[in-house]
Amino acid sequence: MKRIFQVFILLIFALPAFSQIRPSGQAPATPSLKVGNLDIDYFSPKEYIIGGTKITGTKYLDKDVLVTLSKLNKGDKVVLPGEATADAIKTLWAQGLFDDVKINVDKIVGDTVYFDIAVVELSRLSSIDLKGVGKSTKTALQEKLNDKPGKIVNDNLYNTTSGIIKKYLLDKGFYFTKISYSTRKDPNAENSVVLEVNINKGHRVKVQHLDFTGNKEFSAAKLRKFLKNPKQFEWWRFWGSGKFDKQKYEENKVKMIAKMQDKGYYDAELLSDSIYKYNDKKVNILMNVYEGNKYYFGKITWAGNAIYPDSVLSKVLTIEKGDVFSEERLSKKLNGGGENGGDINSLYTDNGYLTFNIDPVKNVYKDTVDIELHIAEGPQYTNNRIGVTGNTITNDKVVLREIRTKPGQKFNKSDLIRTIREIGQLGNFNEQKTNPKVDPNTADGTVDITYEVEEKPSDQIELSGGFGGGRIIGTLGLTFNNFSLKNLFNGSAYRPLPKGDGQKLSLRGQTNGKYYQSYSFSFSQPWFGGKKPVSFGISAFTSSQNVPANYYNPNQESPLDQKIRLNGVTVSLGRRLNWPDNYFQLSHALSFQQYILQNYNGFLFSTGTSYNINLTQEISRDSRDSPIFPKSGSLLKFTIQATPPYSLFNKTNYATASDKERYRFTEYHKWKFDSQFFQRVAGNLVVKAQAQFGFLGQYTKAVGQSPFERFKLGGDGMQGFDFLQGSEIIGMRGYTNNSVIPVGSDPRIAQNSGSPLYAKYILEARYPVITSQQATAFVLAFAEGGNTWNKFGDFNPFNIRRSAGVGARIFLPIFGLLGIDYGYGFDKIPGVKDANKGQFQFSIAQQLGGL
């Protein structure tokens, strides 16, 4: 029995090892194989000396290297039958280079054996032909597979190619991709093939069920809310694509656990999750969570603080013993940062302690987390060298005068953040690329700060056409936002105009031929004199309209032409304030306007000349973090505009005076208020709330309301100010231009002349879709309400015309801000046909084109 068992074991190991060894032209080996005149006895292995090994069947591989890999080298000893030949086959197969490998005994001479290794080489890949996907997907996949050509076509190539393709499509929501392969010879390359990859993406899947196990304190609905994305299928959810995004899913799993921990469940974790097929279009997700116990803040102690006592630090921390433990809350109160501070880190870094560090040490027992806060205050740093780099067009002084981290002052992190905002407000630099480089010098306790900026295009051109008065109206406007007046006669400074001093020059013309013409000019210098933040501005305009007799109705008998000309000039001064805080600005403007009318029916008098000399005072506060897409902050404006009260000191009898005499020197006082608030509510979703109010008052009832400076509500508001009517245009989506008129007014008169009183409210949700140097774009949904009144006694802020809708905005440095809105007005305007209902409205914001 022992002898039989030994034979059985020998057969198991020896036969497979020698199964591929046979002399050329002979049948496969058997246990009593005869090679030449030599019988090889499987039960009596014999040692041989290798006389030589040759490789047959190769075309492109190095034969000597293959012999070396086989380890069947000339002069080596080998036992036949034995494991050496089997090992050689395994080694060669492992290279992934062959379709077949055989080892034959070519001959045996005495105790010398000669081997012949016959191989069949695999083809090499010349290119990959992707089928079943679109052009963009094919391009993206080809970039990921660009390292494959030249490789051997084998199972490893198939597996890696499938893995790359499936991962890419999985990230796009295609969870059940199927791939098959075929090859065809490449006629342009020897021993090469084209690999055809047939891709069946299937459907982009959604989530049918999103279930949880292990949850006790948190309901499944609450956990789904924490996860945010993906959303489980609900019959009533009709918004959003609902497509499964693997990358977002992985990110949101971490956020879901963080939310659980933020509710006091410090030990919460995701034990496992599985995604499995529901059908060809949907998957189910099962997540196994561990909640653990709910924890509370225990004793909070401070260590290492010498500058501020425990009482001051605890007051800033605002965390009390017994509060629900939250890692996120603790982190924000320690190192939350932000321009407005409110955390321990800001308390120190705003006082010069640049290298301040705080390390919370937790001691967890039962349901309580004691916190010991170890503070390393470090030295107090003073600002040393302050510089700017990257400004290839804008002069250093333009940037440096906006910088709030001054040399010799204590380092202040809030000033650093505020400086980044101020540089962005200039409009000349990419806001995302402004980077402060802070280099502390520990030897002398100073810090060097360099603001790295990147220029962006800022000059703009408006080139547009419209239809009005029965004719095409063309507009051409040029705006240079980084102009340099002092280099106007310096030919080398033209790019194409002199730039770099942060001044603004605008030129605009509009005409439909000889019937209507309007030209305007403005120039502003934000730092008048160059040393203090006092702004100076000057603007001028002239507009004329000539309506020949019978222009609108050739059959109407009218021998009179209608003409109007308006001329105006405004000079303004403004300065920044440091009280109540340094976000405030005060400005003053003195304006002179002349209205020359001849048989013109747009005002309370048709022929004559009227002068409007007014002084405007405006105080504003702007704390928005960005001028284009603010995510936080506010903009408040309060404006008073008034003319001299001529009626109080002249000798005109207004009771008997003609309209021409009554309005020769127009008088009024005008009050306006605008408030805008921005708040980020979730991620990048921002809510904007706005309220506007305007009132045009009179000094005496004898004179009455001014025919100028009234308000016209409704429409896109693109015109801003109607020079020919002397009215201010207030946009309101969902209604046609100038259609929101006071209740009971004559529509023909009210739409033409405007109203002395208006109010408007806006609630808007905004979400960015593009945020880059090249463009900023966002979509929005809005609700608006507003109305106009003829007198203050009729004013009711809750009696408004309402609208709602959606829209989009895109800002391109070379185009300006472009927008489109669809608004639906819910309230009819008596006497104004089709004033409400659905309205598409476009906005160009005075720029359409770029230099």
Structure letter (DSSP) for residue 298? E
pLDDT band of residue 84 (cuts 50, 70, 90) is confident
Residue 718, in any domain of the structure: no
Number of neighbours of residue 47 by Cβ within 10 angstroms: 11
Question: So what's the pLDDT on residue 459?
Answer: 83
Average the pLDDT over 770-775 and give the result. 80
pLDDT band of residue 680 (cuts 50, 70, 90) is very high
Looking at the structure, tell me whether residues 149 and 176 fall in a common domain. yes
d(CA 711, CA 790): 11
Pairing between β-strand 382-389 and β-strand 357-365 as defined by DSSP bridges:
unpaired
Looking at the structure, tell me whether residues 27 and 112 fall in a common domain. yes
Report whether pLDDT(112) > 80: yes
pLDDT band of residue 549 (cuts 50, 70, 90) is low
Report whether pLDDT(483) > 90: yes
Pairing between β-strand 192-200 and β-strand 178-185 as defined by DSSP bridges:
antiparallel
pLDDT band of residue 849 (cuts 50, 70, 90) is very low
602-630 pLDDT, tens digit each: 666 778 899 999 999 999 999 998 888 99
Among 552, 546, 594, smallest CA distance to 726 is for 594
Amino acid in position 154: N
Average the pLDDT over 40-44 and give the result. 65
Question: So what's the pLDDT on residue 215?
Answer: 95
Residue 741, in any domain of the structure: no
Question: So what's the pLDDT on residue 339?
Answer: 53
Q: What angle do CA 12, 14, 19 make, to 5 degrees?
A: 105
Report whether pLDDT(99) > 90: no
Last residue of a domain, one of 200, 233, 253: 200
d(CA 233, CA 211): 12
Average the pLDDT over 557-570 and give the result. 81
Q: pTM value? A: 0.71
Q: Quote the radius of gyration of the chain (alpha carbons, Å).
A: 41
Are the CB atoms for 585 and 526 separated by under 8 Å? no
Of residues 35 and 92, the one with the higher pLDDT is: 92
Q: Which residues contact 687 (CB under 8 A, 6 or more apart)?
A: 678, 679, 681, 763, 764, 765, 766
pLDDT band of residue 553 (cuts 50, 70, 90) is low
Average the pLDDT over 431-442 and give the result. 92
Q: Which of 464-468, 498-502, 621-625 has the lowest mean pLDDT?
A: 464-468
**Farthest CA pair distance, the chain:** 146
d(CA 327, CA 259): 10
**How would DSSP label each residue in 521-558?**
EEEEESSTTSSSSEEEEEEEEEEEEEE-TTSS-TTS--
321-334 pLDDT, tens digit each: 999 999 999 999 99
Question: So what's the pLDDT on residue 11?
Answer: 40
Buried b (16+ CB within 10 A) or exposed e, 427-447: bbbbbeebebeeebeeeebbb
Last residue of a domain, one of 346, 376, 406: 376
Residue 348, in any domain of the structure: yes
Q: Which residues contact 649 (CB under 8 A, 6 or more apart)?
A: none
SS3 (DSSP) at 632: strand
Helix (H) or strand (E) holding 567: strand 562-576
pLDDT band of residue 461 (cuts 50, 70, 90) is confident
Question: So what's the pLDDT on residue 615?
Answer: 97
Q: Which residues contact 385 (CB under 8 A, 6 or more apart)?
A: 407, 448, 449
Specify the residue for token string 């198991």: 12
Structure tokens at 847: 């720029």
Report whether pLDDT(421) > 70: yes
Average the pLDDT over 774-791 and give the result. 93
Looking at the structure, tell me whether residues 356 and 411 fall in a common domain. no
Are the CB atoms for 467 and 365 separated by under 8 Å? no
Among 751, 764, 773, smallest CA distance to 807 is for 764
Residue 216, in any domain of the structure: yes
pLDDT band of residue 242 (cuts 50, 70, 90) is low
Looking at the structure, tell me whether residues 52 and 76 fall in a common domain. yes
d(CA 799, CA 737): 20
Average the pLDDT over 58-79 and give the result. 85
Question: So what's the pLDDT on residue 720?
Answer: 62
Residue 361, in any domain of the structure: yes
Q: How many domains does the chain have?
A: 5
d(CA 418, CA 404): 7
Structure letter (DSSP) for residue 21? B
In this structure, is the dihedral angle defined by the CA atoms of residues 762, 767, 771 and 777, taken in order, positive or negative? Answer: negative
Report whether pLDDT(465) > 70: no
Looking at the structure, tell me whether residues 6 and 116 fall in a common domain. yes
Of residues 720 and 155, the one with the higher pLDDT is: 155
Question: So what's the pLDDT on residue 155?
Answer: 83
Looking at the structure, tell me whether residues 358 and 408 fall in a common domain. no
Report whether pLDDT(771) > 50: yes
Looking at the structure, tell me whether residues 171 and 231 fall in a common domain. no
Residue 280, in any domain of the structure: yes
Report whether pLDDT(512) > 90: no
Question: So what's the pLDDT on residue 26?
Answer: 36
Number of neighbours of residue 304 by Cβ within 10 angstroms: 12
Residue 534, in any domain of the structure: no
Query: 53-62, 227-236, 468-477, 659-668: which has the highest mean pLDDT?
Result: 659-668
Q: Which of 12-21, 106-115, 694-703, 806-815 has the lowest mean pLDDT?
A: 12-21
Strand-by-strand arrangement of the 192-200 sheet = 124-131, 192-200, 178-185
Average the pLDDT over 817-831 and give the result. 92
Question: So what's the pLDDT on residue 340?
Answer: 60
Report whether pLDDT(557) > 60: no
For the chain, the first-to-last Cα distance in angstroms comes to 100
Looking at the structure, tell me whether residues 101 and 140 fall in a common domain. no
Report whether pLDDT(38) > 60: no
Among 347, 301, 297, 349, smallest CA distance to 324 is for 297
pLDDT band of residue 27 (cuts 50, 70, 90) is very low
358-407 pLDDT, tens digit each: 999 999 999 999 999 999 999 999 999 999 999 999 999 999 999 999 99
pLDDT band of residue 119 (cuts 50, 70, 90) is confident
Looking at the structure, tell me whether residues 284 and 316 fall in a common domain. no
Last residue of a domain, one of 148, 173, 200: 200
Q: At 131, which CATH number?
A: 3.10.20.310
HEC profile of 459-524: CEEEEEEEEECCEEEEEEEEEEEEECHHHCCCHHHECCCEECCCEEEEEEEEECCCCEEEEEEEEE
d(CA 445, CA 565): 66
Looking at the structure, tell me whether residues 117 and 128 fall in a common domain. no
Of residues 753 and 736, the one with the higher pLDDT is: 736
Among 843, 830, 808, 844, smallest CA distance to 715 is for 843
d(CA 96, CA 693): 79
Report whether pLDDT(141) > 50: yes
pLDDT band of residue 337 (cuts 50, 70, 90) is low
The pLDDT mean for the chain works out to: 86
Report whether pLDDT(662) > 70: yes
Are the CB atoms for 570 and 613 separated by under 8 Å? no
Report whether pLDDT(319) > 50: yes
Question: So what's the pLDDT on residue 37?
Answer: 43
Q: Which residues contact 237 (CB under 8 A, 6 or more apart)?
A: 231
Q: Which residues contact 721 (CB under 8 A, 6 or more apart)?
A: 727, 728, 729
Structure tokens at 187: 């006629």
Bridge partners, residue 429, by sequence: 455
Of residues 57 and 25, the one with the higher pLDDT is: 57
Share of the chain above pLDDT 70, in %: 89
Looking at the structure, tell me whether residues 177 and 140 fall in a common domain. yes
Report whether pLDDT(71) > 90: no
Report whether pLDDT(578) > 70: yes
Question: So what's the pLDDT on residue 248?
Answer: 87
CA 831 to chain centre: 44
Looking at the structure, tell me whether residues 311 and 362 fall in a common domain. yes
In this structure, is the dihedral angle defined by the CA atoms of residues 801, 807, 812 and 818, taken in order, positive or negative? Answer: negative
Share of the chain above pLDDT 90, in %: 52
Structure letter (DSSP) for residue 307? S
- Please give the residue range of the domain that contains residue 223: 206-290
Residue 195, in any domain of the structure: yes
Question: So what's the pLDDT on residue 537?
Answer: 96
